[in-house]
Amino acid sequence: MPEISDHGGRIAAALRGAIAAHPRDGGAGHDMLAVAESIAVHGGLDVGDLRQRQLADALGAALLVRVLPFGLATPLDRPRLRRDAYRCAAAAGADEGTTLVCVAAALVAADLLRFDPAMTAIRVRQSLLEDAPMALLNRLTIVDPEIEVIEAESDPGAALQLALSELEWTGCAGVASALARLGEAGRGDVGTLTAALAGAAAGQCDVPVEDYLGERADRAAQALATLGAAAL
């Protein structure tokens, strides 16, 4: 089984990427950082703490971004990350279909720490084969790079497929490459999702963020990596 190279650095790159894609306060990247900090403090999901952090009312791709830290923190403990991602999404008021896509997103984040996008899609599809509807399983594939980029903000399954495909198309070259290829489609939460996954896959964020946010991301990332090591 491939080892995770620079686990803490990859988590930090994912957090930084999400913030860099949409730096304004209240964006999905800031909620992702808040969730990561909550996990760091409590050693896992604490729904009460998340409610106190006054996260935004997330829908669609934004909710997928929120659950990514569960996959990044304990990527080798699949039952745990699936349980925590599911509970986090359900606590946010997501319906069953969206909740399952959130679980898929957390699994994608976990596997991108070790595998390329194509293998990640295969692994996550296999993991959810008995639990997810065919509509979601069909989204866990890489689409043709010539396909027209469609509006995916309100469709979490389409958002996840587009983000994973963008990483494949750009060869996991980094956050900047992924956002550049998305163009206008990368200005919303789909861009934040793509940037976070691109950071995790590349192991670095090549788009700058404000110093204090970067420092928060780095601290949370090291705490999550320590948690992941303890879960082995």
Domains in the chain, CATH or no CATH each:
7-230 (1.10.4080.10)
Six-digit token pair at 82? Answer: 């699936």
Sorting pLDDT into bands at 50, 70 and 90, what band is 149? low
Q: What is the pLDDT of residues 165-212, one digit of tens each?
A: 999 999 999 999 999 998 876 678 999 999 999 999 999 999 999 999
pLDDT attached to residue 151: 65
Average pLDDT estimate for 152-167: 91
Give yes or no for a contact between 79 and 17, defined as CB atoms under 8 angstroms apart. no
Mean per-residue pLDDT over the chain, rounded: 93
Q: What is the pLDDT of residues 23-54, one digit of tens each?
A: 877 789 999 999 999 999 999 999 999 999 98
Residue 1 pLDDT exceeds 60: no
Residue 6 pLDDT exceeds 60: yes
pTM for the whole thing?
Answer: 0.96
Give yes or no for a contact between 157 and 136, defined as CB atoms under 8 angstroms apart. yes
Tally Cβ neighbours within 10 Å of residue 32.
Answer: 29
pLDDT attached to residue 2: 63
